[in-house]
Amino acid sequence: MTIALPPALSQLVERLVHTGRYADEGEVVREALRVLEHQEFDESPALEAALLEGVHSPHRAYDASTLDRIRQAARA
């Protein structure tokens, strides 16, 4: 597989290899993909806690104001 990166990302990969933390460019890309996979597919502890709280909360009818109320609470 061949991957073309814009100059800024190529420089980032080169800097990371230069630090000695990664052996080569492929190792940097593999680590980046592992992080992306974790972000995309693993539930965060905060999300899990919110889901569990919702499961154990009394049922409330969903209406147009529900999402607004949740957003306001999240900003507080």
Q: List pLDDT tens digits, range 9-64.
A: 999 999 999 999 999 999 999 999 999 988 887 777 777 788 888 888 887 777 87
Q: Do residues 10 and 16 lie in contact, with contact meaning Cβ atoms separated by under 8 Å?
A: no
**Region for 20 from its dihedrals, namely left if φ exceeds 0, alpha if ψ lies in -120 to 50, beta otherwise:** left
What's the pTM value of the predicted model, to 2 decimals?
A: 0.55
Is the pLDDT assigned to residue 70 strictly greater than 90? no
Look at residue 15 in the predicted model and tell me its pLDDT: 97
CA dihedral (14, 17, 20, 24) positive or negative? negative
Residues sharing a CB contact under 8 Å with residue 60, sequence separation 6 or more, in sequence order:
66
Look at residue 61 in the predicted model and tell me its pLDDT: 79
Residues sharing a CB contact under 8 Å with residue 66, sequence separation 6 or more, in sequence order:
60
